[in-house]
Amino acid sequence: GTQVTVAIHHEDTSPQFIKRLSLEKGSQRLRGHDNKGFQKAEAARPPGAKDLHAYPWDKSSLKSMPVDLQQFKKLDDYALKVNVKNSVEELVKALLKQARTDLEKVRAIWMWICHHIEYDVVGYHNKSQLSSKPRDVLQMGKSICEGYAELFEHMCSLAGIHCKKLSGHAKGHGYKTGQTFTGDSDHAWNAVYLEGRWHLLDSTWGSGSVDDSFTKFTQRYNEFYFLTHPALFINNHFPDNSNWQLLKPTLTLKEFENNMLHNSNFYTLGLLAVHPDTPIIQTVNGKASVSVDCRSSTLFKFKLKGTDEHGLMTLKKHGMKLDIYPQTTGSHKLEIFAKPSKAEAPDDVYKCVVEYVVQCESVDEAVRFPKDLHQPVGPSWFSERQGFLRPSHREPVLHTNDGRCSLTFTLGKDISVLTSLHTDGSSLTEDMGRRHVLQIHRRNQIELKVHLPHAGNFVLKIYSKKKSDPGNYDYIFNYLIRCLNTEVKWPAFPQSYSKWLQDYEILEPLSGLLPANRNVHFKLKMHGIAKVLVQAENTHPLTQNKGCWEGTCNTSGCREVFVMVHENANHSFYSHVLKYEVESQ
């Protein structure tokens, strides 16, 4: 962010003679020249080959020149407090008290206009009553884009800075994705000449925004439109004179119309690109895919026709990927929202960053997502941050043919996990949804065994909390599990009670439903207990062997079988740890 000025001069000139002088008026720069009198500096010229910014944007800065916003803080605060309304000349004089360089003068004027002039929504609808003359704009304290741009130009000229009012088409309020632009220009903004080249800014858009019905203006300062890099400014500003794009090569109006609209949130959140980068996308066999690239971990949301039910979004370390499956043919609006993962400011809410129109010719009937599915799907940097490391399955969807699957993670310290299985319809109660997932802990590893009750689409939800926290579990992430095999019919795992400790393990029987009139073999991994009994019609003790408790129990004559433990040999009472059901005769 440091600015360096390099002076190149003849080797036999002694450097101290080369001075750069600035006159009070500031409109003409004088430069010492070989100490033989003075020669006038070049006046600002219209943009030509010398000004053209190398296209495309190199992603290192959103501005067209190095700007350190921290250094402006004092000046910004001063400019906001200036309260002169009697004449534009007096206002400029007051603002320039704290501004030394041309950049500082432009900054002070910009800050003042953005915070003191409101957009005139009434005047916009009734232009005959409206004056864009700088004096009138200052007196009224409101105007439309024309007035903002004229006031900016006039204040700069009083401050001795070259400034031009530009007009053209803008993808601003009321813009519809993919629309064409015809007729006269509909927006005005400015170019200022600083340090030998032209720079673009839009004080109307810097001051705030208008609601959808164009009846209410909300003052909300937007830094993005101050000296915006031309490669980003062209995204929503198309000047009547293409030289003022300050780009090489310049864009045609057709290209401007077809280009993706990235609003200022897109860039200020550090997003870099979207794919596809055309605003209208067609589905192929009922599906369309979109992805966003960004610098740092960013959280995303999407809405297709106002809901996120018909898609599958996954978070990547540097962006996100989204597949959508519209449920009706026709044109659908797809909006993508983003927010920083470390929400620093209270206003860090999800902001719309990009919009598409999805044209769907045929619906893929086979793809239906359960309504309990929560976006994004699958593991990500977010679940890692919550302590679920090294997932065995990195993809969001698990396909199983026999109705069983198993996932493993390495768990961070002090984490307690809760899991549940969900599907549409009433086949799974909340309690049974928990019992179709079995947790197995081995040191810092957790294995989740899932047995599906029937074919279909299921959501495996994973919650966690700190073991040391008394509070509730927080939802972390989920997977989609698919099974097409209609013969699948797994019973739930046995019910466990609070005395069943996290690092105990059931080796057999895993099914919570035991066959009737059979001898069933039990093998359980448990530690720190004196005795284990299996209670059916009769009581069967298990014997300890290499860290496991084993034995056989007969299920005849009973509907339920309990496993009980004796924690201390001197105590006479048992605690229930597991409960199995027995099939009816």
pTM value surpassing 0.85? no
Can you give the pLDDT at residue 420? 95
pLDDT in the model for residue 569: 73
Check residue 23 and give its pLDDT: 33
Averaged over 543-570, what is the pLDDT? 89
For the chain, domains (ranges, CATH) are: 69-253 (3.10.620.30), 267-360 (2.60.40.10), 368-492 (2.60.40.10), 494-584 (2.60.40)
Separation in Å, CA 80 to CA 83, 133, 153: 8, 22, 19
CA distances from 368 to 97, 287, 399, 568 (A): 65, 12, 15, 53
pLDDT at 15: 45
pLDDT of residue 55: 52
pLDDT for 50 equals 60
pLDDT over threshold 90, residue 338: yes
Average pLDDT on 272-283 reads 92
For residue 284, what are the contacts with CB-CB under 8 A and spacing of at least 6?
none
**DSSP collapsed to 3 states, 254-286:** HHHHHCCCECHHHHHCCEEEEECCCCEEECECC
Closest CA to 284 of 276, 294, 274, 292: 276
d(CA 479, CA 327): 22
Mean pLDDT of 280-287: 94
Please give the average per-residue pLDDT across 501-509, as a whole number: 90
- Distance, in Å, from the CA atom of 522 to the CA atom of 109, rounded to the nearest integer, reads 82
Active site residues: 145, 187, 202
Q: How do residues 345-380 score in pLDDT, each as one tens digit?
A: 666 789 999 999 999 999 998 888 999 999 999 999
Tens digits of residue pLDDT in 16-75 = 444 443 333 333 333 334 433 333 444 677 776 566 655 567 777 899 998 999 999 999
Q: What is the pLDDT of residues 135-169, one digit of tens each?
A: 999 999 999 999 999 999 999 999 999 999 999 99
Looking at residue 137, its pLDDT comes to 94
Q: What pLDDT score does 104 carry?
A: 96
Average pLDDT of span 74-92: 94
